[in-house]
Structure 1
Amino acid sequence: MNGDIGFGAQSRAVYAENPFRSRGRLFPESESPTRTPFQRDRDRIIHSSAFRRLKHKTQVFVYHEGDHFRTRLTHTIEVSQIARSLARALRLDEDLAECLALSHDLGHTPFGHEGEDVMHECMAPFDGFDHNAQSLRVVTNLEQRYADFDGLNLAWETLEGLVKHNGPLLDQNGKPVGKFKDTVLPFAIRDYAEKQDLLLDTWPGGEAQAAAIADDIAYDAHDLDDGLRAGLFAIEDMRDVPFLANILIEVDVKYPGLEESRRIHEIVRRSITRMVEDVIREAIRNLSELDPQNAQDIRMAGKCLVGFSPDMTKAEREVKDFLFARVYRHEDVLAVRKLVARIVRDLFGKFHSDPGLMPEPWNLGMSDLSDAEIARRICDYIAGMTDRYAIEEHRRLFDDTPDLG
């Protein structure tokens, strides 16, 4: 492609990632005549096997509990919509923000966070498990579709934003920070860092920051929606949270006597709108103060620029605390979480004692692998399962598969 002609180039700010100046791919490829590198990445992600499997992976409720509850796929689409809206308002590259939103959950295990917690427990002797690192492993290794390389061979900016969307992973001295400060970086990140430098000691670009905060906004909104529709709490319970109480008052004043399903939707949509508009205002203020002249200035700012204001940070924390108490720790949810934890734990234990029980190609070449490599392969296999497939595998190997219905 020549210059910045077309593809909405005129709408990008100087601090946005420029697809025409991408740092490239690990395996060089000729450019597409019809798509920017980030548009091409988006298409590769959407057509991946891991993306399709998100349809049958859990958010909070197991896959068969109801057609209207969110799955990883519907959550991902909602995050993508919010990320694009933020990117458009801030004149960032919308396609890159969308890429990062679409790929951020590719490494999640079946059965939501309970599956991840159990996988981390099982993998504790082998560097543990982290779904974000697993997402990187999926797009750089486990997707095996192309003749010339393993993975999707995504652009540097996509990989960097995917692995660092919550902030730097290393300090300036190369020591892990954040949730890894008392341990080591996950295997998948260390392994890929030997092949390509993703600047793990800096913040990611604005597009990755937009995708990360979009994830928080979508999570809060859809868990309120699903929790209400599942009967885990009542609309009136939200009056205990000032942010939600104000929205509830606004809806009831404007629409007295509104039927409950519409009332729920009006509350949820206003929650999203207020959070999105807060992020846009705060990001514009931060960007105006910094006056970045390129994407690297955002990386080197030393802090997140695209996020909530202090007031909204407090309000969002209160929403999360409410959801933790009323949804994630609800006795019905906890009962199911206990059952699905057993499924994941049983599968890992069975395969670790006899790796040959995994189907081809997962069970091939085991004699040439170390115990850690075998464990990692088992982890890759289980993490890629849908909820439904994990249950089917458990039924194949055990006589007492839990009934999740």
Structure 2
Amino acid sequence: MVSAGGDPLGLAPFASRPSQGRGRRVPEDASDLRNDFQRDRDRIIHSAAFRRLEYKTQVFVNHEGDLFRTRLTHSLEVAQVARTLARAMGLNEDLTEAIALAHDLGHTPFGHAGQEALDACMTPYGGFEHNLQSLRVVDLLEGRYPNFDGLNLTFEAREGLVKRCPTEQAKRLGDVGRRFLDGTQPSLEAQLTNIADEIAYNSHDVDDGLRAGLLDLDELLALDWIAGLHHRASTSHPGLRGRRLVYRIVRDLIADQVHDLIETSQANIDAASPEDPDAARALSHPLIGFSEAMHAQHWTLKQHLHERLYRHYRVHRMTTKAARVIEALFETLMSDTQLLPPQFREAAEARESARGLRGRARVVADYIAGMTDRFALDEHERLLSPKRLT
């Protein structure tokens, strides 16, 4: 039950509460219907960056098949796993959901291949990292409100978007960068959502990899964990085959991780006994995490996916071509900002006046990172194909 505009009931002492939060960058009047974390979630859902996730690659480019996951479906799955975890541990579900839904807003087209290519292009100009870009989206790039740039999210939602950060960058981030300088932690909700992302990512890539025929179930069964899940499914449902067997294995894969994370994290919390959210933040180590045994199984599965799925020659062909598209777009737009749409051209000129080529490059990166897979391919053709003059 939730009181109108108030905090959810039954939260643990160390859970984040909107009524005790650190506020927004630009102060706003409170809503009489939704608390601040609920408003964060709703702003994220209504943002253009969130809608574009529907057409951004997870592993397989969007048009390769209607059933493969996109950044949008991945984000929804992360939110579902994270909310389950938060509810079980007495943490704030609304904040957890907001972080989960926003965590990939800054991701490039073409998945990690796009990020790596854009980071390489941006190396002389400060680099590119999609978590920092997500913060940039919600702090600056979304233009929906008359009184501020971005979405003006709460501190608690914003800090959950930044998973890692170099020291020099942390100094420029202000409040959300402070913990990287102090060696402290984000909220427990942010810690939880970070691992929910890993749970969803690995488990559902198994599903998509098998569906695409790039992963082989017999090879996966060489992993003790998957073999155990297969035995469990076959014992409880003799004769189970095909997609239903895969679905059962993937569900149990997620369930094993969720239960281990709750049990291990609760033991860590009990040992540390944080009295409030700031006491949990002040620690030098996170409290949310897997047991050593589950961490080892998780890592083994991740390595298998890297070797058998992400480096599969069909995926490699796709990612190689995608990287070339990103590189060509960056080089072309950096060389002539008149090719940018007016809004980005004006921003590039302004930032170049203030920061030189570094400023120009950041705006070009903003433009490319905001593209969907299909738009990036179309823009590449518009700019570079001699057969396309408009």
Common fold by TM > 0.5: yes
TM range (shorter): over 0.9
| Structure 1 residues 227-259: Cα deviation after superposition (integer angstroms, max 9, x where no partner) | 000001221111111111110111122223223
CA contact (8 A) 1:160 1:199 kept: no
Q: RMSD in angstroms over aligned alpha carbons?
A: 1.8
Q: Quick check: 1:393 aligned with 2:379?
A: yes
CA displacement at 1:274 relative to structure 2: 0.4
If each structure's helix is expressed as a fraction of its own residues, which one has the higher value?
A: 2
CA contact (8 A) 2:5 2:35 kept: no
CA contact (8 A) 2:7 2:17 kept: no
- Counterpart Cα distance in 2 of 1:17 and 1:56: 33
Give the corresponding residue for 1:336: 318
**What is the one-letter code of the residue matched to 1:354?**
D
CA displacement at 1:83 relative to structure 2: 0.6
- The aligned length equals 380
- Counterpart Cα distance in 2 of 1:45 and 1:192: 20
Give the corresponding residue for 2:13: 14
* CA separation of 1:385 and 1:366: change in aligned 2, threshold 3 A: closer
Matching residue within 361, 365, 379 for 1:379: 365
- Counterpart Cα distance in 2 of 1:37 and 1:6: 8
Gaps of 5+ in 2: none
**What is the one-letter code of the residue matched to 2:149?**
D
* CA separation of 1:363 and 1:59: change in aligned 2, threshold 3 A: same
Give the corresponding residue for 1:172: none
Give the corresponding residue for 1:157: 156
Alignment partner of 1:204: what SS?
A: coil
Alignment partner of 2:246: what SS?
A: helix
* CA separation of 1:191 and 1:144: change in aligned 2, threshold 3 A: farther
Q: Quick check: 1:232 aligned with 2:214?
A: yes
TM-score normalised by L of structure 2: 0.94
- Counterpart Cα distance in 2 of 1:103 and 1:198: 21
Alignment partner of 1:129: what SS?
A: coil
**What is the one-letter code of the residue matched to 2:60?**
F
Alignment partner of 2:346: what SS?
A: coil
Give the corresponding residue for 1:349: 331
Q: Quick check: 1:57 aligned with 2:56?
A: yes
| Structure 1 residues 297-343: Cα deviation after superposition (integer angstroms, max 9, x where no partner) | 11112111111111000000000011011100101100111111110
Alignment of 1:252-331 (within 5 A): 252-331=234-313
> 64-73 or 233-242: which moved more?
233-242
CA displacement at 1:23 relative to structure 2: 1.1
- Counterpart Cα distance in 2 of 1:400 and 1:332: 28
Q: Percent identity?
A: 45
CA contact (8 A) 2:349 2:360 kept: no
CA contact (8 A) 2:158 2:176 kept: no
Give the corresponding residue for 1:129: 128
CA contact (8 A) 1:26 1:196 kept: no
- Counterpart Cα distance in 2 of 1:92 and 1:27: 26
Alignment of 1:238-257 (within 5 A): 238-257=220-239
